Amino acid sequence: MIAQEQKPIEEILDYLKGKQKVVAMGCGGCATFYHTGDKKAVKEMAERLRKEGKEVTEIILPLGVSACEIDMSSKFLEKKRKAIENADALLMMSCGDGVQVIAEYIEKRIGVTIAVVPANDALGLVGGGPKKFKETCQMCGQCELGKTAGICPLTSCSKGLMNGPCGGVREDGKCEVDPEKDCAWVRIYERMEKMGELAKFEEMRDPHAWSRAKRPRLFEIEEPVNPVSTILSSLPAYLTLFGGPKYEEEE
């Protein structure tokens, strides 16, 4: 999940300076979980912009419909096509992925070029919950977790070191950058010791393939998932999870 927080209203208003007609669009994915793009957030933002004298059209995406999943979110864009065609700007209440996907769709499919600006700052790919989350993955392109006992040095080490601890690790195993945090490589060593795999700690490894992190990365899926049928097929499992009829997965 992509953690995010809303930008200061002063920054948002600066983006929208001189723009009278604004479309405020939310996201039913990560932004909904962080309350930066859910229904309430969109309505509060719209009200705030109206107090600044702007004409605002709201686009609210339901839970499960992410802005970046254009096959689904485009349905909501098309419903507000007229407003988008007449708008001076679209304020995207999502991560930067949603901003760029929506901007491209509006330009290429709706046929207008308007400012599509971010309302949020993305803070990283995180895991955990339900309240506390921490950054867990940098999406580097070559996962090394099988070599590091399931602990990622890129996100767990303050320096992102890939080949063992630095010279600043404290005697008590703490990090020199953050004395409150355990050194990632000490944690890796200790977990390997518990697993009886300390020999792997001393193995020479090939350098990390940073070439896999070149931008932008391009992907092509042979058989795209149909979001509607996927959601419908998952309903029995969700019903069981939340106290509905018992669901048994097919073998």
Q: CATH number, domain at 56? A: 3.40.50
**117 and 9 together in one domain:** yes
3-state secondary structure of 32: helix
- What's the mean pLDDT in 71-83? 95
The candidate with the shortest Cα–Cα distance to 61, out of 74, 46, 73, 69, is: 73
More confident residue, 64 or 224: 64
Residue 234 lies in a domain: no
Cβ(60)–Cβ(39) below 8 Å: yes
Query: What does the pLDDT look like over 19-72, one tens digit per residue?
Result: 999 999 999 999 998 999 999 999 999 999 999 999 999 999 998 899 999 999
At residue 117, what are phi and psi to the nearest 5 degrees? -120, 150
Residues with Cβ < 8 Å from 35, sequence gap 6 or more?
41
Q: At what angle do helices 227-241 and 70-79 cross, to 10 degrees?
A: 100
**33 and 148 together in one domain:** no
**75 and 171 together in one domain:** no
Residues with Cβ < 8 Å from 193, sequence gap 6 or more?
none
Residue 248 lies in a domain: no
Give the global pTM.
0.77
**7 and 69 together in one domain:** yes
**109 and 26 together in one domain:** yes
Query: What does the pLDDT look like over 147-169, one tens digit per residue?
Result: 899 999 999 999 999 888 999 99
Cβ(11)–Cβ(47) below 8 Å: no
**44 and 110 together in one domain:** yes
**156 and 183 together in one domain:** yes
pLDDT band at 202 (very low <50, low <70, confident <90, very high): confident
Query: What does the pLDDT look like over 100-134, one tens digit per residue?
Result: 999 999 999 999 999 999 999 998 888 888 888 88
Would you tell me how many other CB atoms lie within 10 Å of the CB of residue 203?
A: 7
| Domains in the chain, number | 2
**40 and 88 together in one domain:** yes
Among 91, 125, 159, the domain-final residue is 125
**119 and 6 together in one domain:** yes
> What is the structure's pLDDT at 246?
55
Task: Tell me: pLDDT of 17 over 70.
Answer: yes
Residue with tokens 């600044």: 52
Whole-angstrom Cα distance, residue 241 to residue 238? Answer: 5
Range of the domain at 20: 2-125
> What is the structure's pLDDT at 247?
44
Cβ(36)–Cβ(5) below 8 Å: yes
Among 100, 125, 150, the domain-final residue is 125
Among 188, 204, 220, the domain-final residue is 204
Q: Are strands 2-6 and 115-118 parallel, antiparallel or unpaired?
A: unpaired
The overall average pLDDT reported for the chain is 88
**146 and 120 together in one domain:** no
**61 and 171 together in one domain:** no
